[in-house]
Amino acid sequence: MVHMWVEELKNGKYKFVERYEDYLTGKTRKASVTLNKNTAATRKQAQAAITAKIEKALKKDYAPAKDITMKDLVEEYRKSQALTVKKSTYKRNYHACNTLMKILGENVLVNRLSARYVHDSFLATRKEGGTLNEHLTRFRALIHWGYKNELIQDISFLDKIELFPDKPHREKIQDKFLEASEANLLLDYMTVDKWKKLTKFLILSGLRFGEAAALEISDLDLKERIIRVSKTYDYNNNVTTPPKTFSSVRDVYIQDEMLDLCQFIRYDALCQRMVTGCNLLFQDNGTHVNYFSFNAYIRENSMKCLGRFITPHVLRHTHASLMIEQGLSLDIIARRLGHEDSEITRKIYIHITERLKEKENQIIAGIKIL
């Protein structure tokens, strides 16, 4: 082991030096500090300064951490996310990581995690399989990030963790969308005009709430019959940002059924602009429409007239289901919705086509050909 040594300089000062090994290259480097005297006190001072220099240099070499805790890993992950993802994504993942630390323990050493420990810890929460699988997806993303950034040495245990059993698909998919009769019943039940128009707009266009809330009057081109979607409103952080994905930037065609509604909405927006000066297509006294107010209104009214709660996003799925019933292909629907890939849309497609097939079989069963 190499210890610190002292070199007397021509100017009468003393240079304290120590060798250390560069982690990445394996080569020997030197760290030094120059002081005025060579005494027991200055040697102690020099040793502390050199040790700090070496530790700082080795940290820059990115040597893999051996005993990083769950809390430390999450903190590093959040630093990266703050620079690389949208605010809405950061906020969602922030809360997801809090949940993971609560489930697994924030002081657990990540390099000592096992598939059994993770599985049992998740199971102990007594949450539904679908919810646990959502947590597991975020956990995998976190661990893969840590491995990629050399904070975790081995992630082979992830391959041993299987998805948790979930409720059968047929029990849940119907709650993801409204039938045409249910959509009409909900619209007829609504009494607040602005929410009724927004609800119908989302059903007929398939836009996300954030996309609709970000629309300006000029984005509604009635002459070309196009809704230009190029941004989204992040209601959690009160900012307008680029869309979720590249495919989300799109022109949505205004079909005949929707044209009159768009004319009314545009007229309302122009009238409000004269008062507020706001160019938004949907607004609340010069500001973006409030998601939480809209969501509360939708939930209350859907429960009263349909007997179940729905969210604004269900209206988007409803658009997809109604398009499927009209015989449009998944590709056409995906382009209209601005999806690169949607598992939910695919499941709705399968569910509705199976139901239509059953209806066809019932009709055919009663036919007498001869």
Position 170 scores a pLDDT of 45
Strand, helix or coil for residue 35: strand
The rounded distance, in Å, linking the Cα atoms of 99 and 79 is: 18
Residue 109 carries which DSSP code? B
Position 169 scores a pLDDT of 47
Strand, helix or coil for residue 260: helix
In the chain, what are the domain boundaries? 5-60, 70-166, 174-360
Q: Is 208 exposed, middle or buried (0-12, 13-18, 19+ CB in 10 A)?
A: buried
Using alpha carbons, select from 89, 138, 202, 173 the residue that is nearest to residue 345. Answer: 173
Position 302 scores a pLDDT of 94
Q: pTM for the whole thing?
A: 0.57
CATH architecture entry for 70-166:
Orthogonal Bundle (1.10)
Position 128 scores a pLDDT of 87
Give yes or no on whether 70-166 and 174-360 have one common fold. no
The rounded distance, in Å, linking the Cα atoms of 108 and 99 is: 14
Is residue 289 within 8 A of residue 283, CB to CB? The reply is yes
Position 32 scores a pLDDT of 93
pLDDT tens per residue, the chain (370 residues)? 468 999 999 999 999 999 988 876 778 899 999 999 999 999 999 999 999 988 887 765 554 556 799 999 999 999 999 998 888 788 889 999 999 999 999 999 999 999 999 999 999 999 888 889 999 999 999 999 999 998 998 899 999 999 998 765 444 656 678 988 999 999 999 999 999 999 999 999 999 999 999 999 999 999 999 999 999 998 877 889 888 678 889 999 999 999 999 999 999 999 999 999 999 999 999 999 999 999 999 999 999 999 888 999 999 989 988 988 888 888 888 889 887 666 767 777 777 777 777 777 777 777 777 6
Using alpha carbons, select from 212, 189, 243 the residue that is nearest to residue 319. Answer: 212
Give the DSSP letter string of 162-199.
PPPP---GGGTGGGGS--HHHHHHHHHH---HHHHHHH
Third-level CATH fold of 174-360? hpI Integrase; Chain A (1.10.443)
C-alpha Rg value of the chain to the nearest Å? 30
Q: Greatest CA separation found in the chain? A: 119
Q: Write the Ramachandran bin of 307: left for phi over 0, alpha for psi from -120 to 50, otherwise beta.
A: left
